[in-house]
Amino acid sequence: MSKSIWDVKKVSYNKVGTKNKASFPQEFIDICKMTQEDLKIYLMRELVNYYDPNSMELGDGYLIAKGDCPVVLTAHMDTVHKEPVKTYWGNINEKGQHIISSDEGIGGDDRCGVYMILNILATTELKPTIIFCEDEEIGGVGSSKFVMRDMELEGIKFFIELDRANGNDLVFYDDANEEFHDWCEEITGYRENFGSFSDISNLCPHYGISGVNISCGYYNAHTTNEYVILEEMFNGIDAAVKLMNAATELEEPFEYKRYKPTYSSYSSYYGSSYGKDWDKWFDRVSTTATEKKKVTAETFTVEAIFYYLDEHYNEIEETVEADSKLGAIAIFLMNHPEMRWADVLDYEFL
């Protein structure tokens, strides 16, 4: 199977190892076991250890604590899983990395991000503004309610979201500020990748400030085969801390710049994430230090195979024909309006 330009990986993992024992911090495990409602109360009680209660607000759909570091850190409190974690499995993979999974779905999306924010507060002197959002998985409900509140955020240079799969991704969604993209890559050593939607898709346009979503080390999101790699989660913490430390050297915020819609027939799909200047974007994400080959959405007949899981977690292969690579992706997504791009395991062009 050929490697896609977006590095979308199919990753398999069987829940094997030691039941209810893992090398993960107990707080992370406890967070995975909570309902969204219980987690919101827990986070409110935790934040008062670091922030003046007068700087905090517990609102409908969100929890915010304003800090003095010129960055917003955000994560969401819900998961797609129907029940909280009851049992979990600890394991070590062939690379020596520590793994955790659960029969109920571990909920790394996005309990990883929640834990990572608390870890940053506990282990550094940084006090960024924190926004925890509810119900991201059903359309960014919490972040939508927050922007309707139109709360003033003073001195913010950029947003960091901790809600991305894999181990070294940076996702910017509709933000076309290439200077910010390059700056984040240089600071973190991570690489730009593609995503469909998350809470910064609402927050950044509203405030006119750029934002980045950083990998948290979880895989197979939205399935009960989801798992988290401990080392990659902590690498994500380090990446976020590097960006926050660098933020103190910035004189002005990074301005949010929306990509110009060039394929309007489906540019509104999932918050217009498919309305980018695609020639420019394909060029960017396919360029590495050793490869400068330009990948464009040229017009020619192509055949693409998409691999994804159905509602019963059976792997499905679907073939799509179109007049361009971009067109094949668009047709597939429009054929599955209930599916997010994150649900696609892999794809290849023939």
Same domain (yes/no): 232, 283 = no
> Residue 299: which domain range?
278-349
Same domain (yes/no): 172, 295 = no
Which whole number is the average pLDDT over 161-178?
95
Q: If pLDDT is split at 50, 70 and 90, which confidence band does 116 have? A: very high
Task: Check whether 270 has a pLDDT greater than 80.
Answer: no
Same domain (yes/no): 241, 310 = no
Q: Is 261 part of a structural domain of the chain? A: no
Which whole number is the average pLDDT over 249-266?
73
Cβ–Cβ < 8 Å for 29, 90: no
Q: If pLDDT is split at 50, 70 and 90, which confidence band does 230 have? A: very high
Which whole number is the average pLDDT over 262-283?
40
Give the whole-angstrom CA distance, residue 338 versus residue 222: 13
| Percent with pLDDT over 70 in the chain | 80
Q: Domain boundary at 226, 247, 268, which? A: 247
334, 338, 342, 348: CA torsion to nearest 10: -40
Residue 195's nearest CA partner among 74, 342, 4, 337 is: 342
Same domain (yes/no): 128, 240 = yes
Q: Convert 244-279 to b/e letters by CB count within 10 Å (16 or more is b).
A: bebbeeeeebbebebbebbbeebbebbbbbbbbebe
Same domain (yes/no): 73, 209 = yes
Q: What is the pLDDT of residue 315?
A: 81
Q: What is the pLDDT of residue 69?
A: 97
CATH number at residue 151: 3.40.630.10
Q: Is 258 part of a structural domain of the chain? A: no
Same domain (yes/no): 159, 211 = yes
Q: Which tokens hold the place of 61? A: 């759909």
Residue 88's nearest CA partner among 147, 45, 32 is: 32
Q: Domain boundary at 224, 247, 270, which? A: 247
pLDDT in tens, 66-112: 999 999 999 999 999 989 999 999 999 999 999 999 999 999 999 99
Q: If pLDDT is split at 50, 70 and 90, which confidence band does 272 have? A: very low
Which whole number is the average pLDDT over 181-208?
95
Q: What is the pLDDT of residue 245?
A: 98
pLDDT in tens, 123-141: 999 999 999 999 999 989 9
Which whole number is the average pLDDT over 334-345?
71
> Per-residue DSSP letters for 92-158?
E-TTS-EEEEETT---HHHHHHHHHHHHHHHHSS--EEEEEES-GGGTSHHHHHHHHHT---TT--E
Q: What is the pLDDT of residue 196?
A: 84
Q: What is the pLDDT of residue 33?
A: 97
Q: If pLDDT is split at 50, 70 and 90, which confidence band does 20 have? A: very high
Give the count of domains, the chain.
2
Q: Does pTM top 0.85 for this prediction? A: no
Q: If pLDDT is split at 50, 70 and 90, which confidence band does 308 have? A: confident
Distance (Å) of CA 272 to CA 101, 261, 264, 269, 330: 33, 8, 9, 5, 12
Between 277 and 212, residue with greater pLDDT: 212
Q: Is 226 part of a structural domain of the chain? A: yes
Residue 269's nearest CA partner among 206, 330, 203 is: 330
Same domain (yes/no): 243, 282 = no
Same domain (yes/no): 219, 282 = no
Same domain (yes/no): 165, 304 = no
Same domain (yes/no): 144, 197 = yes
Give the whole-angstrom CA distance, residue 49 versus residue 72: 18
Same domain (yes/no): 230, 293 = no
Q: What is the pLDDT of residue 14?
A: 61
Q: Is 339 part of a structural domain of the chain? A: yes
Q: Is 264 part of a structural domain of the chain? A: no
Q: What is the pLDDT of residue 179?
A: 97
Task: Check whether 273 has a pLDDT greater than 50.
Answer: no
Q: What is the pLDDT of residue 161?
A: 98
Q: Is 8 part of a structural domain of the chain? A: no
Same domain (yes/no): 114, 235 = yes
Paired strand residues for 63: 58, 132
Task: Check whether 294 has a pLDDT greater than 50.
Answer: no
Q: Is 252 part of a structural domain of the chain? A: no
Q: What is the pLDDT of residue 254?
A: 98
Q: Is 163 part of a structural domain of the chain? A: yes
| Percent with pLDDT over 90 in the chain | 66
